[in-house]
Structure 1
């Protein structure tokens, strides 16, 4: 069974909209764990428009499951990870002004840089993951960096699932099989939802973790956060 890590960026976005501490990010994160999630994911960006760097420090002190910090390993991000020492760091090649992540790494072109980052974080005992598209060459490139896991970027799957689930899942199955053959752990995330997560998890071999934020928080507006967390866990089981 893949574990569910809940991305709480949207909780921080809502908090920041009014400038106070409602909703309380730490309390919501603790509740999400209490409801059954097995991890908390955050993706701080340099402008701190949702998750603030201080949130990462505060969450490390109270998360009882696993803390996953995602981001582009620019200098400020690297320093944050060095300080916080999360359980997992996921390297994502998003631009400073990106609204959300929109592509995986070119692991061939960026091999030396990624290897340097992977070696650095692993030397501190932090599990490392690289965000990649479901392309065999990119999976193979990731393996050459010495990374522990890859995170499959699933937006194309989510879009294609609506019209043809079988065609949408095919490149992800192939990428996951290749990753497993290369001794890479497999995570996944982006636009996964209650509508498409069960099909994805049933067809992706050796899936270890899914990171879900936007859809899960949006669905919780109608169905309730505790209910939705457990609905995801049921579909992943």
Structure 2
């Protein structure tokens, strides 16, 4: 089993404070000393957290493999191919989401995914897909020839919250499980 540490929230804090501190780059040595096997960052199209310079510096300076999460948009694949992280995890991205609310539609976006995967593989970048935990999505990912998959587990987390908290007894219930 391997430990990958997502350091996005350091950039979230920095961007919320509108200052240059904390710097996500500072997390690299801390993560390595703590036993991490991989660093994960998400470069969003809207750059609301990580910025291009963050991604460039982290990928260039990390002694651990870097997993770059990004959308399947050609402009994002261009950046990934230029930066050449160890791995790219393709994720769905909607600007109105606070956090990713589901996995990629791997059966519905095959041509777009195939092109992105082909371009990344041409740069010798491993590819992972962020998918819903369904057999159909796993099979489609296998057919696409990716090296890794990551499951979106939000629904499971929401069920736990509904079962083991008072959420179900309030008007703040989660409408869709």
TM range (shorter): 0.7 to 0.9
- Deviations for 1:12-59, whole angstroms, at most 9, x for unmatched residues? 011122333211211123212222111111111122111001111000
In the alignment, what sits opposite 2:156? 157
**In the alignment, is the contact (CA less than 8 A) between 1:94 and 1:103 conserved in 2?**
no
In the alignment, what sits opposite 1:63? 62
State the shift of 1:125 in Å.
0.8
**In the alignment, is the contact (CA less than 8 A) between 2:11 and 2:24 conserved in 1?**
yes
In the alignment, what sits opposite 1:234? none
Q: In angstroms, what is the RMSD of aligned CA positions?
A: 1.8
Q: Indicate how the Cα distance of structure 1 residues 105 and 17 shifts in structure 2: closer, same or farther if over 3 A, else same.
A: closer
Matches within 5 A, 1:110-125: 110-125=109-124
SS of match in other structure, 1:144: helix
**In the alignment, is the contact (CA less than 8 A) between 1:111 and 1:144 conserved in 2?**
no
Asked if 1:97 corresponds to 2:88, the answer is no
**In the alignment, is the contact (CA less than 8 A) between 2:67 and 2:88 conserved in 1?**
yes
In the alignment, what sits opposite 1:132? 131
Distance in 2 of aligned mates of 1:149 and 1:24: 29
SS of match in other structure, 1:90: strand
In the alignment, what sits opposite 1:194? none
In the alignment, what sits opposite 1:228? none
**Gap runs ≥5 in structure 1:** 166-237
Query: How many corresponding residue pairs?
Result: 164
Distance in 1 of aligned mates of 2:80 and 2:106: 21
Asked if 1:15 corresponds to 2:14, the answer is yes
TM-score by length of 1: 0.65
Range 82-91 or range 17-26, more displaced: 17-26
In the alignment, what sits opposite 1:25? 24
Q: Indicate how the Cα distance of structure 1 residues 30 and 126 shifts in structure 2: closer, same or farther if over 3 A, else same.
A: same
Higher helix share: 1
Distance in 1 of aligned mates of 2:27 and 2:139: 38
Distance in 1 of aligned mates of 2:79 and 2:115: 17
State the shift of 1:98 in Å.
2.2
Distance in 2 of aligned mates of 1:53 and 1:107: 27
State the shift of 1:70 in Å.
0.6
TM-score by length of 2: 0.85
- Deviations for 1:84-112, whole angstroms, at most 9, x for unmatched residues? 10011001111133211111122111122
